[in-house]
């Protein structure tokens, strides 16, 4: 396997993780629309700050500020694009032949799943209304 492709099983796992992350971001976005604090984003921020003693001086109020959902949507799209790009060579028969391997059904399935997730991520990005 070359550096620019990933195994089909790894691609499937990454797609699953991106879907889970997108669900968390969507839940936080819905909470913000209802006027509630985004619990997941705040939890992640607290965990990051807890591990950095120099940042412990920040007031707790700063962590309660709403996080712009557009940033999460951008990052999720970046991750989905990376996974999708990494599955391109796996389903390319000419590329596979040049590298002495065959395209498997798992490669094709990973490509389809990653492509669908990338499309969902770009749609979510385009539908996300920035707060800033």
pLDDT digits (tens, 9 = 90+) for 77-86: 888 898 898 8
3-state secondary structure string, the chain? CCCCCCCHHHHHHHHHHHHHHHHHHHHHHHHHHCCCCCHHHHHHHHHHHHCCHHHHHCCHHHHCCCCCHHHHHHHHHHHHHHHHHHHHHHHCHHHHHHCCCCCCHHHHHHHHHHHHHHHHHHHHHHHCCCCC
**Is the pLDDT score of 119 beyond 90?**
yes
* Most confident stretch, 31-40, 58-67, 85-94: 85-94
Q: What is the pTM of this model?
A: 0.63
Task: Determine the pLDDT at residue 115.
Answer: 93
pLDDT bucket at 41, cuts 50 / 70 / 90: low
**Phi–psi pair at 97, nearest 5 degrees:** -65, -40
């Amino acid at each position: 396997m070359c550096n620019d492709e990933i195994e089909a099983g790894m691609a499937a796992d990454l797609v699953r993780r991106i879907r889970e992350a997108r669900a968390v971001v969507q839940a936080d976005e819905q909470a913000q629309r209802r006027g509630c604090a985004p619990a997941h984003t705040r939890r992640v921020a607290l965990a990051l700050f807890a591990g950095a003693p120099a940042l412990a001086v920040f007031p707790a109020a700063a962590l309660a500020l709403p996080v712009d959902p557009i940033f999460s949507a951008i990052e999720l799209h970046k991750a989905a694009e990376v996974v999708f790009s990494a599955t391109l060579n796996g389903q390319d028969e000419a590329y596979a032949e040049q590298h002495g391997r065959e395209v498997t059904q798992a490669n094709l399935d990973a490509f389809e799943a990653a492509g669908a997730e990338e499309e969902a991520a770009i749609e979510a990005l385009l539908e996300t209304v920035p707060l800033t």
